[in-house]
Each structure stands twice: as C-alpha cells, then as structure tokens.
Amino acid sequence: MRFPLTDQLIEEAARYELRSACRDCFFYVPDQARCAHEWPDVGQGRWPLDAPEPDGSRPGEAEFCKEFELR
C-alpha cells in the first residue's frame, strides 16, 4: 500500500515509534534477508520512512506491506 510521505506522517512515525520496515516484520527471514512470502521490497525495507533514496533525494511516498505483522 502506497501513501504520500508527508511531514505529518514522518513526525507521527517518530512520535508513536511506528514500525513498518521489513526488519520489524514477523515474516522477515533475517539470515536470508528476504520475506518468507517472497514479496519484493519496493520501499518497505527503508527505515526510517524518510531515509534518502539511493540518489540522495527524499522519497515522496511510503510503502506499507499488507502482510506486515509486528514481531
């Protein structure tokens, strides 16, 4: 699920300690660095949400996986 990455979302993610990255998901297999469901990482692995893109720019959207289950 894709959402606009607004200043409000960034601030609330920090304030409420939102966890949405693959590394925090029950289905993440750390020793294989992949999802147990084999879903591709299309931005869910980025943490914090506003971490720069590879080119250094700020992302415009945040990706949230429908399968996410907090560890």
pLDDT in tens, 19-65: 999 999 999 999 999 999 999 988 888 899 999 988 999 999 999 99
Calpha distance 62→9 (Å, rounded): 9
H/E stretch holding 35 reads strand 34-35
Calpha distance 21→13 (Å, rounded): 12
Report residue 71's pLDDT band, with 50, 70 and 90 as the boundaries.
confident
Helix, strand or coil for residue 68?
A: coil
Q: % helix / strand / coil in the chain, to the nearest 5?
A: 20, 15, 60
What's this model's pTM, rounded to 2 decimal places? 0.79
Calpha distance 3→63 (Å, rounded): 6
